[in-house]
Amino acid sequence: MTAALVEVRDLTVTFPAGDAPGTPGTGVRAVDGLSFTLAPGRALGIVGESGSGKSTVAAALLDLHRGTGARVEGTVRVDGLDVLTAPEPRLRRLRGGTAAMIFQDPLSSLDPYYAVGDQIAEVYRVHRPDASRRTARARAVAALDRVGIADAARRARARPHEFSGGMRQRALIAMALACAPRLMIADEPTTALDVTVQAQILDLLHDLRAETGMGLILVTHDLGVVAGGVDDVLVMRAGRAVEHGPVGEVLGAPRAPYTKDLLAAVPRIDAVRGGAGEPPAPPVPRTAPSAPSGPSGPVPGEVLLEATGLRREFGRRGSRTTAVQDVSLTVRAGETVGLVGESGSGKTTVGRMLVRLLDPTAGTLRYRGRDIGRLGERELRPLRGELQMVFQDPVSSLNPRRTIGESVADPLRAAGELDDAGIGRRARELLERVGLDPAWYHRYPHEFSGGQRQRVGIARALAPSPRLLICDEPVSALDVTTQAQVIALLGELRRELGLAMVFIAHDLAVVRAVSDRVAVMRAGRIVEEGPVDTVYDHPRHPYTQGLLAAVPVLDPRVAADRRALRGAAAQETRPPSLSAT
Amino acid sequence: MTGYVLRRAGGALIVLFLLSVLVYLLFYVAPGDPATLACGPRCNAEQIRQVREQLNLGEPLPTQYLHFLQGIVAGRDYSTGTGVLHCPAPCFGLSYRNDQPVTELLAARLPVTASLAFGAMVLWLLLGVGTGLLSALRRGGITERVLTVLTLAGTATPVFITGLLLLMIFCAALQWLPFPSYVPLSEDPEQWAWNLLLPWTTLALLESAKYARLTRSSTLETLAEDHIRTFRAYGVRERSVIGRHALRGALPPVIALNAVDLGTMFGGAMLTETLFGLPGLGQLLVQSVRTVDLPVVVAAVLGIGAAVVLANAVADVLYALADRRVALR
């Protein structure tokens, strides 16, 4: 049967190499001889790490590479149309009409200047030229209603910036639905979203598929996202298919070594510590240097940092918002405290207050018994070295115009204890300690990968010999395998140097893998705190329970069960269905 | 929004007040005796004394300044020796040269400058935005190259050279256009436009390269944004993608810059007005400076200042209206 909805044969996409215009025939081969088919109504997940070519494949299905200078070879058939050779008008009918695409970043994927409903109506009228403006608008409202936008008729007149991230992604799905396509292509549709919103969007995609019978191609880096949402999985690496098969087989019993590595690197939320390749130190007993076993509590060791009733407000009179209130947190020597929460929960603000990068509006902050919440900059300076921070984005937190060695040497120079030769020697030691070649001292950040740059960031934080390291989303910009390596490095450092850590992240599984204790934040407050296993296995607060239930799991059957549970809970709020035209 | 406009207006008033103090001081404290200047070269000592009394020049400076402010707000009376001349608000004093109220002098010149500024604006927008769009969308085309060179040359050449060249070519050599002289719009719109065409072109050539650059970079930036990709991926025609979405995103900075430039034009067109013999504000200012007609100079500088301040405020409001994400506070 040639009734395949999508048929890709020997697809090769080559981007012209930017730096070498004089060398013909060279270029970056993003996709290399890829073939797959998708039957109508089925769902395929394309999984891979950054640079694997998965998004390039998605774009090729609509020939979005046309006119960009990329060389696309092979054949792509979507609903019988030879996409790569189709004339422009025919291709336009395919785009949005037969196959609709939704994108990763819902913030920038809609035009900021027009009302959301108008943008959907515009697309509808492109594909139904005989439809009146009124019909198109009504259709847009119906589509918004279907994807769960409350009060759709009124919200259709709002502009994208008046929507939350989840609502924008729903609006984009509504745009895709507007013309009742046979295929939906979702390119990292939930990567920019919080975990609870991600679960809602994935459930929505699943329901829509069941309802309209459309096919789905779901492109993602997250194996958990794929587990719950597709029938088949295609694992990509460096432009090639590594493994292709039913989702249960690929995730349950992978054959390719790469898939095995990938799965091993995914931090498990349900597993005991050790998902991250190498176990990052058992919680007890701790090798806290010369610290006698404490009389009580799971972790022996002196109290390093104690925050009580921290509060932080932003903005001037009138438009004042409280980002953090009544947050109390204790960090003991050698212990790792996880701080989890969704975006906007105030976890980064807390982290910055702990090292006095931000001044608390109220509350006390004690470091080894000394009140440092109100210290002036001059008195604080000797303590700065003991409290260090590792930032989320290794690209923007390193000065691109300084070599990595200089960046690591900066805190040493600021401390002023070593001479130039000593600083250079120590900086090279630090680079080596975090797994970088000391000979790279004179290289610049752009020459390194994301994981390597984060290693530089860690080396810089280690330079002043800190006792406490605040890591703010240190691995969220990294691929899973790199993420596992960086987590393992942090665990090693913690063991060897007896470091205390506050580990801030939105990813519940990562936090479980590294923390002894965990605090869950929501809307500026800590809603639950306790030993990590207790909080994860027996969450008491409903919010924590909801968060944990929303985390994607790798077992497709468990994922289906969980979706059914969530669906039952939300049954009464489901809007009326949008009939497929 | 209303609150924002009110706050901006308040800020603008403060700037204008400071400017008025500065300008007042600058001219009245400057060397040269105002009474002698006002009276003219053939006055004797007695006449000068009389003038000094009429102008209250014996009073301390702050008092004089307060009278000046009072004149602007409420009007002022001047004794002319034979009777009393009432100068209604806003009164900026009487011209030294012919005792006419300065406000009347300025009001007579305003339509000329406004005609020049708005007309030139239309031209520079057409030329600048058009060139910018062409170079963003069809880079390397022959039209785009010619226009880019033209606008760059226009910016690089001083106004008096461009203006003179245009005059020599189109008025003297080819005789296609009349030597410019101002015909009021209300009298004869066609003659008004024909006469102003060369001054407009001169100014437009000066300004358009800036707009070409801004439009080009702003359009390219918008075209690279994700939402453009969205509409392409939904089969929207390239024409609509550019016309509806890319242009819409590229225009706010152009609008804002344009408002500022228009304000500057009210004071900055001195050279052009003088060159083409147009009786506008700029020409009046030049003449008054030359004859040390202090009240006129003070009023003209204040008027130009007001135009610039107002234009900046309008630019901010327009930008916010064009891009609703910009919060006005």
Cα angle, residue B83 at apex, residues B82 and B89 outer, rounded to 5°: 140
Q: Does B232 touch chain A (CB under 8 A)?
A: yes
Please indicate, yes or no, if residue B122 is contained in any of the structural domains.
Answer: yes
**B249 contact residues in A (CB cutoff 8 A):** 111-113
Give the global pTM.
0.77
pLDDT on residue A47: 92
What is the distance in angstroms between the Cα of A159 and the nearest Cα belonging to chain B? 9
Per-residue confidence (pLDDT) for residue A2, from 0 to 100:
53
Considering the domain architecture, whether residues A112 and A259 belong to the same structural domain is answered as yes
Is residue B96 in a domain? no
Residue A84 belongs to domain spanning: 6-264
Residues B228 and B123 occupy one common structural domain: yes
Distance between CA atoms of B78 and B67, rounded to whole angstroms?
Answer: 12
- Given this model, what pLDDT does residue A18 score? 57
Q: Residue B194: inside a domain, yes or no?
A: yes
The H-assigned helical ranges of A434-479 are 450-462
Closest CA to B218 of B329, B117, B319: B319
A175 & A315 share domain: no
Where b means 16+ CB within 10 Å and e means fewer, B189-202 reads: eeebeebbbbbbbb
Q: How far is A109 from chain B (nearest CA, A)?
A: 4
- Put simply, the answer to whether A93 touches B248 (Cβ < 8 Å) is no
B4 touches chain A (CB under 8 A): no
Mark whether B86 and B107 lie in a shared domain: no
- DSSP output for B68-123: HHHHHHH-EEEE-SSSEEEEPSS---B-TTT--BHHHHHHHHHHHHHHHHHHHHHH
The DSSP element (H or E) to which A365 belongs, if any, is strand A362-367
Is there a contact between A64 and B227 if contact means CB atoms under 8 Å apart? no
Residue A23 has pLDDT above 60, yes or no: no
Is there a single domain that holds both residue A53 and residue A185? Answer: yes
Residue B165 is part of a domain; what is its CATH number? 1.10.3720.10
A96 contact residues in B (CB cutoff 8 A): 233-236
Which one of B222, B227, B234, B255 makes the best mutation probe of the A interface by having the most chain A beta carbons within 10 Å?
A: B234
Residues A344 and A223 in one domain: no
Residue B328 falls inside a structural domain:
no
Per-residue pLDDT tens over the stretch B122-163: 999 999 998 888 888 877 778 888 888 888 888 888 888 888
A115, part of any domain: yes
Tell if the CB–CB gap between B237 and A123 is shorter than 8 Å.
no
Are A253 and A328 found together in one domain?
no
| Cα dihedral: A262, A268, A272, A275 (round 10) | 20
**Least CB–CB distance from A95: residue in B235, B244, B329:** B235
The whole-angstrom separation of Cα A371 and Cα A386 is 15
What are the structure tokens assigned to B216, written together? Answer: 């080009």
pLDDT in tens, A79-88: 999 999 999 9
Cβ-defined contact of B235 to A111 (cutoff 8 Å): no
State whether B8 and B125 are in the same domain: no
Please indicate, yes or no, whether residues B86 and B122 belong to a single structural domain of this protein.
no
Contacts of B225 in chain A (CB under 8 A): 108
Residue B227 lies in a domain: yes
Tokens of A339: 């701080």
Give A111-122 pLDDT, tens digit per residue: 988 999 999 999
For A149-157, the CB contacts below 8 A with 24+ separation are A149/A174, A155/A116, A155/A117, A156/A115, A156/A116, A156/A117, A156/A118, A156/A120, A157/A115, A157/A116, A157/A117
Q: Which of B229, B236, B323 sits opposite A122 (nearest CB)?
A: B236
Mean pLDDT for the stretch of residues A174-197: 89
pLDDT for position B93: 80
Q: How confident is the model over A233-265, as pLDDT tens digits?
A: 999 998 999 999 999 899 989 999 999 988 888
For residue B55 the two structure tokens come to 């102008």
Distance CA(A64)–CA(A46), nearest Å, equals 18
Tell whether A254 and A318 lie within a shared domain.
no
Tell whether B246 lies on the interface with A, counting CB pairs under 8 A: no
Number of domains observed in the structure of chain B: 2
Residue A521, pLDDT > 90, answer: yes
Query: Does residue B126 form part of some domain?
Result: yes
Confidence of residue B86 (pLDDT cuts 50, 70, 90): confident
A111 and A29 in a single domain? The answer is: yes
Q: Is A255 exposed, middle or buried (0-12, 13-18, 19+ CB in 10 A)?
A: exposed
**E strand residue ranges, chain B:** 76-79, 84-87
Say if residue A46 is exposed, middle or buried (CB neighbours under 10 Å; 0-12, 13-18, 19+).
buried
CATH of the domain at A314: 3.40.50.300
Q: What does the alpha-carbon distance between residue A309 and residue A311 come to, in Å, rounded to a whole number?
A: 6
Q: Are residues A127 and A209 in the same domain?
A: yes
Q: Is residue B97 included in any domain, yes or no?
A: no
CA dihedral angle for residue B110, residue B116, residue B118, residue B121, rounded to 10 degrees: -150
The answer to whether residues B147 and B274 belong to one domain is yes
User: Domain for residue A507, yes or no?
Assistant: yes
Q: What is the DSSP letter of A527?
A: E
Q: Which residues pair with A9 in a beta bridge?
A: A75
Dist CA A459 CA A427 (whole Å) = 8
Of the residues B138, B227, B239, B325, the best mutation for testing chain A's interface (the one with the most A CB atoms within 10 Å of its CB) is B227
User: Searching chain B, which residue's CA lies closest to the CA of residue A114?
Assistant: B245
Please state the φ and ψ torsions of residue A292, each to the nearest 5 degrees: -70, 155
In this structure, how many other beta carbons lie within 10 angstroms of the beta carbon of residue A90? 13
Same domain, B204 and B254: yes
Q: Does residue B268 sit within a domain? A: yes
Give me the residue from A96, A122, A127 closest to B233, CB to CB: A96
Q: For residue A283, what pLDDT is reported?
A: 41
Q: Pick the range with the lowest mean pLDDT from A202-211, A519-528, B314-323.
A: B314-323
Q: How many CB atoms lie within 10 A of CB B27?
A: 17
CA distance A532 to A538: 10
Residue B271 belongs to domain spanning: 103-322
Mean pLDDT across chain A, nearest whole number?
A: 85
Looking at the structure, tell me whether residues A116 and A252 fall in a common domain.
yes
Please check whether residues B75 and B108 belong to one and the same domain.
no
**Do A203 and A326 sit in the same domain of this protein?**
no
In the numeric block, the tokens 């204890």 are attached to A417
CA A247 to chain centroid, in Å, comes to 22
User: What tokens appear for A332 in the block?
Assistant: 């003991």
Question: CA B81, B87, B92 angle in degrees (round to 5)?
Answer: 110
Those residues whose C-beta lies under 8 Å from the C-beta of residue A415, and which sit 6 or more positions away, are A385, A464
Q: Which residue has the tokens 């603008």?
A: B12
In this prediction, residue B326 carries a pLDDT of 66
- Give the number of other CB atoms < 10 A from CB of residue A163: 19
Helix (H) or strand (E) holding A308: strand A303-314
Nearest to B230 among A93, A103, A126 (CB): A103
For residue A1, tell me if it sits in a domain. Answer: no
What are the φ and ψ backbone dihedral angles of A270, each rounded to 5 degrees? Answer: -95, -10
Per-residue pLDDT tens for B171-211?
A: 888 888 788 888 888 888 888 888 888 889 888 888 888 89
Name which of B139, B230, B238 to mutate to probe chain A: the one with the most chain A Cβ atoms within 10 A of its Cβ: B230
> Rounded mean pLDDT of B269-287?
86
Q: What's the token pair of residue B133?
A: 């769009």
Strand partners, B292: none
Q: What is the pLDDT of residue A570?
A: 63
Mark out the alpha helices in A51-132 (DSSP H runs): 54-61, 88-93, 116-127
Compare CB distances from B227 to A97, A101, A111 and report the shortest one's residue.
A111
Residues B241 and B148 in one domain: yes
- For A286-328, the pLDDT digits (tens) are 333 433 333 333 345 788 999 999 999 887 766 788 889 999 9
What is the signed CA dihedral for B161, B164, B166, B171, rounded to 10 degrees? -170
Within-domain flag for A441: no
Nearest-CA distance from A311 to chain B in Å?
Answer: 26
Is residue B51 located within the same domain as residue B123?
A: no
Block residue for tokens 């006002």 = B38
Same domain, A241 and A345: no
Q: Are residue B145 and residue B59 in the same domain, yes or no?
A: no
CA distances from A389 to A130, A457, A501, A507 (A): 59, 9, 10, 19
Per-residue pLDDT tens for A144-158? 998 888 889 999 999
Give me the total of CB pairs closer than 8 Å, taking one residue from chain A and one from chain B: 75
Which residue from B233, B248, B324 is facing A62, i.e. has the nearest CB?
B233
Q: CA A112, A116, A122 angle in degrees (round to 5)? A: 100
Q: What is the mean pLDDT of residues A94-99?
A: 92
* Mean pLDDT score, A11-23: 70
Residue in B with minimal Cα distance to A91: B235
Backbone angles phi, psi at A86, to 5 degrees: -65, 140
Strand (E) or helix (H) holding B62: helix B61-74
Q: How many domains does chain A have?
A: 2
One domain, residues B185 and B62: no
State pLDDT tens for residues A543-568. 999 888 888 888 888 888 888 887 77
pLDDT category at A285 given cuts 50, 70, 90 is very low
